[in-house]
């Protein structure tokens, strides 16, 4: 997605060979127009699918997921993150390890909002090791729901999450796939290049 990649190059900060900071439009400050374009692009890529629910995780997945939801007319459910859950009643929950923050969070979704009748798309801001997507897949499976695919804003294509999940047959649509952050420069995979 051209607009997204341009924004990443212009405003992203390469902090190391594995860390790109995009706080100015995605993770802390949000560019609403870009998020609308991102949501619309997810809708285009999954136009062949019937989606009844969008599953994301707080907080940076919420804006793109909500624009997708507006475009396709489906509600969004965001999984909540907690260090530990005291109340696990009536919840689907799973554990997600963040390598960046070196912490494990329990994520949870109320059983009221996902069911075996749902066709779900999973949306997230970043895909690196795939931990968040795996946790959301686990929750979708607990609900007995079908997962149509995954939509990712930025994939760190040099880390293995995307590869492992695709090998399992999961459809993943990433709007920008980073090949390398070496030398402080963002290099992208072309569409279809792996």
Tokens of 164: 């492992």
Q: Does 42 bind a second copy (CB under 8 A)?
A: no
Question: Residues 6, 17, 23, 103: which binds a second copy (CB under 8 A)?
Answer: 23
Q: Which own/partner pairs from 89-93 qualify as long-range (CB within 8 Å, at least 24 positions apart)? A: 92/139, 92/142, 92/143, 93/139
Q: Which is nearer to a second copy, 65 or 121 (CB)?
A: 65
Q: Residue 13: in which H helix or E strand, if any?
A: strand 13-14
Taking the complex as a whole, the smallest distance from the CB of residue 127 to a second copy amounts, in Å, to 20
Q: Which is nearer to a second copy, 84 or 193 (CB)?
A: 84
| Pairing assessment for the beta strands 146-156 and 119-127 based on DSSP bridges | parallel
Question: Residues 51, 77, 150, 175: which binds a second copy (CB under 8 A)?
Answer: 77
| 171, 149 contact by CB (below 8 A) | yes
Contacts to a second copy by CB under 8 A: 23-25, 28-33, 35-36, 58-59, 62-63, 65-67, 69-70, 73-78, 80, 83, 109-110, 112-113
């Amino acid at each position: 997605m051209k607009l997204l990649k341009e924004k990443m190059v212009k405003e992203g900060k390469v902090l190391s060979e594995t860390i790109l900071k995009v706080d100015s439009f995605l993770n802390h400050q949000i560019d609403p127009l870009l998020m609308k374009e991102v949501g619309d692009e997810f809708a285009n890529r999954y136009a062949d699918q019937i989606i009844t629910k969008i599953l994301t995780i707080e907080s940076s997945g919420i804006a793109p997921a909500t624009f997708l939801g507006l475009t396709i007319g489906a509600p969004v459910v965001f999984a909540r993150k907690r260090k530990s859950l005291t109340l696990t009643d009536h919840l689907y929950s799973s554990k997600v390890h963040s390598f960046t923050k070196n912490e494990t969070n329990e994520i949870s979704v109320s059983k009221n909002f996902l069911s075996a009748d749902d066709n779900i798309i999973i949306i997230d801001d970043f895909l690196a090791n795939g931990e968040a997507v795996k946790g959301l897949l686990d929750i979708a499976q607990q609900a007995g729901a079908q997962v149509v695919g995954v939509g990712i804003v930025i994939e760190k294509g040099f880390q293995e999450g995307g590869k492992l999940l695709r090998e399992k047959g999961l459809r993943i649509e990433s709007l920008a796939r980073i090949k390398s952050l070496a030398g402080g420069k963002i290099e992208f995979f072309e569409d279809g290049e792996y």
